[in-house]
Structure 1
Amino acid sequence: MTNMYETGLDKCAANYQPMSPLSFLKRAADVWPERTAIIHGSLRRSYGEFYDRSRKLASALQKRGIGKGDTVTVMLSNTPPMLECHQGIPMLKAALHSLNTRLDAAIIAFQLDHAESKLVIVDREFSAVMKEALAIAKVDPLVVDYDDPDYGDDAPYPKGEMIGSLEYEALVAEGSDDFAWSLPDDEWDAIALNYTSGTTGNPKGVVYHHRGAALMAYNNTVHAAVGGGAVYLWTLPMFHCNGWCFPWTLALTGSTHVCLRWVRAKPIFDAIADHGVTHLCGAPIVMSMLIGAADEERRDFPQNVIFNTAAAPPPGSVLAAMADAGFEVVHLYGLTEVYGPSVVNEWKSEWNTLDREERAAKKARQGVRYAGLEDLGVLDPDTMEPVEADGQAIGEVMFRGNIVMKGYLKNEEATQSAFEGGWFHSGDLGVMHEDGYIELKDRSKDIIISGGENISSIEVEDALYKHESVASCAVVARPDDKWGEAPIAYIELKSGHQPDAEALKQHCYERLARFKVPKDFIFEEIPKTSTGKIQKFKLRDRSKDEA
């Protein structure tokens, strides 16, 4: 039975439009047409130009036969075309598929086929691996090269050959200046595709919708403190969770994108000093790079710089050092399936009175849900009941709300499993504190069970990071005849330090229960992803082989 609020009050064009982040750029071009939107080397592009070029790109793609339901794949660095693709491709109601620039040819070919890519835009830096991938793939997309005029004479990698049938600027030139784009037919329509796994097992193509991307843009303005006139430096790869949706966010407040092709300490400090950068994002490894920079790489800057960090919990020592260096660290947490970070360590003013170590402990917690996330919990995955909020009981961190993915592309089984019980299952293990803040303890696959006791690899790593010689570390399980599993530590040392397993062991004895202290210390370079996340699966596999 209907009530009076459901009679004669239907949706219509006047009172309902699909929510989409695409409307933000149009508004920015209307309000701030002359304001600088993009800085890249010698290039300066206004919001009016940014909007016009995005429309021309959409028009050119339409002329090339791209439309709703199609996938356009890009393999680009953090450059202006990447920003234009985030706008122009969804203006056509197509989906943007951003490739991780460090993938090998076999995985690229798998993604091209699984995504049924119709067109590929590739930076010349990555043309060799793309050429190899296209030779393997079954699809036969139109290939467009991007030849960056600001590649730089000091580039660490030479440009590759042109492998496409036309260059990116020629493609944009094909578009019409007056192209009439439109919002999606439904805000639930796909806007982007991001992969989280390789070529074996269940393909994990995470599908984002327009509504979630728009809500994340609003969330970023609040929780990442991206206010009006912000200057954002692209240290986070835009291919990673669509750059945590920041390519769409900055238009909300007319903020400036500062592009950065290679993440190195000197260019970061130069950008902060020269362009007045106020915000950047990245994994803890980027923080380590900054605080470990040589004197000749550093620059002084007067402004406060907010550093939004996610991935593994930052070691307390790194957080404290960043504060000393003038960076305000905002600790975030999330996954690709929830559009990147969707949990924030909401800082409380009363915590400022705590001593240095206590503040660092508070800062290392993941925190509470974004305003745009309806629910966040730590649940027993068997009973789906919340664990006790005592900071000790371990459960699985779960999410639900409008900033959770549509699901996994062409994989209903994996989607249903991920959403079992009405929650998105993260696979991360954590605790809920009495104040409602969550804290990660490990990935479910990273917990070490030694003699029947659970050992959090994160806890052991945090202890190791407190040693002055440790630049990076990873603790994994090694099969053990007596204990079943035993922790071992892989260590990267800071410059000027020598391997000293005994010193590290004594350091751990002072901070951990004895059964948690690594049984072995291996000193070598630790494998990482392009976003700085340590690839523990490689170390786990190696430790099993060695055992």
Structure 2
Amino acid sequence: MHPILHAQARPDHPAIVMAGSGETVTYGELDRQANRIAQLLRARGLKRDDAFAVLMENHPRSLELVWGSQRAGTMMVPVATRLTAPEIAYILEDSDSRLLVTSAAYAGVVAEVRKLLPDLPVLVMGGGDGEDLDAAIAAQPDEPIEDQAPGLTMLYSSGTTGRPKGIRPAAPPTNDVTAPVALMGLATMGAGMPADGSMVYLSPAPLYHAAPLGWCSTVHRLGGTVVVMEKFDPEAALAAIEQFKVTDSQWVPTHFVRMLKLDQAVRSKYDLSSHRRALHAAAPCPVPVKREMIEWWGPIINEYYAGSEGIGMTLIKAEDWLAHPGSVGKAIYGKLHICGADGEEVPAGTDGLVYFENEILPQYHKDPGKTAEAMHRDGWMTIGDIGHVDADGYLYLTDRASHMIISGGVNIYPQEIENLLVTHDKVMDAAVIGAPDADLGERVVAVVQPVDMGDAGDALEAELRDFLGRELSRIKMPKQFDFRPELPREANGKLYKRELREEFAAKAAGTD
């Protein structure tokens, strides 16, 4: 199954619908646009394996570019829209991108990128300073190029703990652009997504991120309709499920928290009866949050654990999660190994570094050192998560190894504290970090986004300390609370703790 085949069989079936505007692209239109984009890439001198970057908001063009690249055999490099000009320029240079495709919405940052990379060609959707993307596409024929080949996508790590690194996937095993990919089988057999073209899939997250991009592409391979939210809003997401009769969706825990904070009258306002399957991933979901979501939506919420590296995946369905609360499931792709600091596998119930054993593993682009650092001596790979398996083989994630706080010689995992904080009625979001401390080495700091900033202050801090004290030992209790109207969280749910740690480190050093 592939959009090419769906365009032949059902050219008028909706492939893309924008939730806000209602703009619709049919499979026939997607096919023609993808061919024109492949023609454009060739006309601009991009051959198979050549890279080009995409910096764009959620828009039909984003997915059209995916399928154009998938016919030209090129390496598409999605760029996070939150990044600064130097960060974007670094990715463009590091990936050897020969072209930047962007939008007038990012004219300001692109102008700064142009100063850093004056020789890089730029195509701009929506006019502005640069060659017009839509005009360039329209000028191309809509027939397939002669040398079609499946393309690749090189995602960059989110940079939440340091400079992002390109994750270069293995080369496609075939030149057949319509050949099935691994995620199709995982989607149908694992997540239960239908392969008959009846699926209506809601994507509330930014399309430059691995999961939305991967799952939207999979839905297109299965012949379904992708409903794309221009930007996540909790009530608008519920309205979209009702309006478009959404059957499938994917979320991150932050989305769940935002929806659960809605008034009950708003939550019960919308008809969600079409909704059959809801996937979530990206970060461990607090047990009370997921339990409440299952009570609200029913046992349709399935969770998986994977990474942009694509080294493995676990999956757990709602009924199994209720029997193993907090687990992210059993491995359905790759083989799990949990290892201690010495590289030896640890017993069930013992925390260690999570590795996947797989025949096909990626490499970090231009960084053999980082690739080697992620590898076990037996050839397994990790993305840096700490966790354990229980006696039944279910995986539980503790935290990212890089997020661990060492305070007074004690290892503290902030995820546990964050998961408790966001269940408090007055807390919208929370980040827990280690800040430099002369006595302890690091002190635990909770950076909290209240539901209402009017509540911020000593009284709320005392309330939160009392709330946490019922569950946490004293060593884990934050030494400091910092209240803010917003946290540096990416729209895909990733929290940029690096920014917070750097801020507190600068304050400690007196350089702020």
What aligned pairs does 1:396-415 form with structure 2 within 5 A after superposition? 396-401=353-358, 404-405=361-362, 407-415=363-371
For residues 408 and 239 of structure 1, the distance between their equivalents in structure 2, rounded to whole angstroms, comes to 18
Please list the CA deviations of residues 225-251 of structure 1 after superposition, one character each: whole Å capped at 9, or x if unmatched.
Answer: 322411112212221126251232012
Q: Which residue of 2 aligns with 1:20?
A: none
Name the CA distance, whole Å, in 2 between partners of 1:368 and 1:312.
Answer: 16
Distance 1:259 1:197 in 2: 21
Partner amino acid, structure 2, of 1:146: M
Q: Does 1:468 align with 2:425?
A: yes
**1:369 aligned residue (309, 313, 331):** 331
> In 1, distance between residues paired with 2:433 and 2:469?
18
SS of aligned partner of 2:415: helix
Q: Secondary structure at the match of 2:277?
A: strand
1:279 aligned onto 2:268: no
Unaligned stretches of 5+ in structure 1?
Answer: 1-22, 148-160, 353-358
Hey, what does 1:119 align to over in structure 2?
99
The structure-2 alpha-carbon separation of the partners of 1:280 and 1:474, relative to structure 1 and needing over 3 Å to count, comes to same
Partner of 2:257: 288
Shift of 1:516: 1.9
Counterpart position of 1:338: 310
8 Å CA contact 2:167–2:308 kept in 1: the answer is: yes
- Report the 3-state secondary structure (helix = DSSP H, G, I; strand = E; otherwise coil) of the residue aligned with 2:306: strand
1:403 deviates by 6.2
* Mean Cα deviation higher: 200-209 or 28-37: 200-209
Is the partner of 1:485 in helix, strand or coil? strand
Q: What does 1:215-254 align with in structure 2 at a 5 Å threshold?
A: 215-227=182-194, 228=196, 229-241=198-210, 243-254=212-223
Change (3 A) 1:464 1:199: closer
Q: What fraction of aligned residue pairs are identical, expressed as a percent?
A: 27
Q: Which residue is 2:494 aligned to?
A: 533
SS of equivalent residue, structure 1 residue 366:
coil
Q: Kindly report which structure 2 residues correspond to 1:152-231, keeping only aligned pairs within 5 A, or say none.
A: 162-168=128-134, 170-180=135-145, 184=149, 191-196=152-157, 204-209=165-170, 211=172, 214-227=181-194, 228=196, 229-231=198-200
CA distance in structure 1 between the partners assigned to 2:209 and 2:15 by the alignment: 21
Residue type of the alignment partner of 1:143: V
Q: Is the 8 A contact 1:232 1:277 kept in 2?
A: yes
DSSP-derived class of the 1:441 partner: strand
Superposition deviation, residue 96 in structure 1 = 0.6
State the match for 2:442 in structure 1. 485
1:381 shift after superposition: 4.2
CA distance, structure 1, for counterparts of residue 99 and residue 166 of structure 2: 18
1:301 to 250, 259, 272: 272
Give the Cα separation in 2 of the matches to 1:198 and 1:425.
17
Report the Cα distance in structure 2 between the residues aligned to 1:420 and 1:203, rounded to whole angstroms. 22
Deviates more, 1:89-98 or 1:495-504: 495-504
Query: Does the Cα contact within 8 Å between 1:427 and 1:443 map onto a contact in 2?
Result: yes
Q: Distance in 1 between matches of 2:373 and 2:337?
A: 18
Match of 1:88 among 55, 65, 68: 68
Conserved in 2, the CA contact under 8 Å of 1:203 and 1:411? no
C-alpha distance 201-281 of structure 1, shift in aligned 2 (>3 A): closer
SS at match of 2:305: strand
Q: How does 1:382-421 map to 2 (within 5 A)?
A: 382=342, 384-389=343-348, 391=349, 393-401=350-358, 404-405=361-362, 407-421=363-377
SS in 2 for 1:445: helix
Note the C-alpha offset of 1:116: 2.1
Q: For residues 268 and 402 of structure 1, do their structure 2 counterparts lie closer, same or farther at Cα, with a shift above 3 Å needed? A: farther
Contact 2:456–2:483 (Cα < 8 Å) also in 1: no
Superposed CA RMSD = 2.7
CA distance in structure 1 between the aligned counterparts of 2:406 and 2:302, rounded to whole angstroms? 32
Are residues 1:68 and 2:41 paired? no
Please say which of residues 495-504 and 294-303 is displaced more in the overlay. 294-303
Cα distance in structure 2, aligned partners of 1:237 and 1:205: 18
CA distance in 1, matches of 2:474, 2:440: 13
Aligned mates of 2:241, 2:295 — CA distance in 1:
17
Contact 2:245 2:275 in 1 (8 A): no
Q: CA deviation at 1:133?
A: 0.7
Match of 1:257 among 215, 218, 226: 226
TM-score, L = length of structure 1: 0.82
Aligned to 2:4: 26
Give how far 1:485 is off.
Answer: 3.2
Aligned AA (2:132): L
Question: In structure 2, how many angstroms separate the alpha carbons of the residues matched to 1:433 and 1:171?
Answer: 55
Of 445, 449, 453 in structure 1, the residue corresponding to residue 402 of structure 2 is 445
Q: Which residue does 1:510 correspond to in 2?
A: 470
- Quick check: 1:141 aligned with 2:111? no
Instruction: Determine whether 1:39 maps to 2:5.
Output: no
Retained in 1: the 8 A contact 2:247–2:274? yes
**Structure 2 SS opposite 1:344:** strand
| 2: CA distance, partners of 1:381 / 1:57 | 48
Taking the aligned partners of 2:441 and 2:490, their CA distance within structure 1 comes to 29
- Contact 2:161–2:496 (Cα < 8 Å) also in 1: no
Structure 2 length as normaliser, TM-score?
0.87
SS state at 2:167 partner: strand
Greater alpha carbon shift after TM alignment, 73-82 vs 280-289: 280-289
Match of 1:110 among 62, 83, 90: 90
Over 3 Å counting, the alpha-carbon distance change for 1:447 and 1:526 in structure 2 is: same
1:202 CA displacement: 7.0
- Given the superposition, is the C-alpha separation of residues 172 and 531 from structure 1 closer, same or farther in structure 2, using an over 3 Å criterion? same
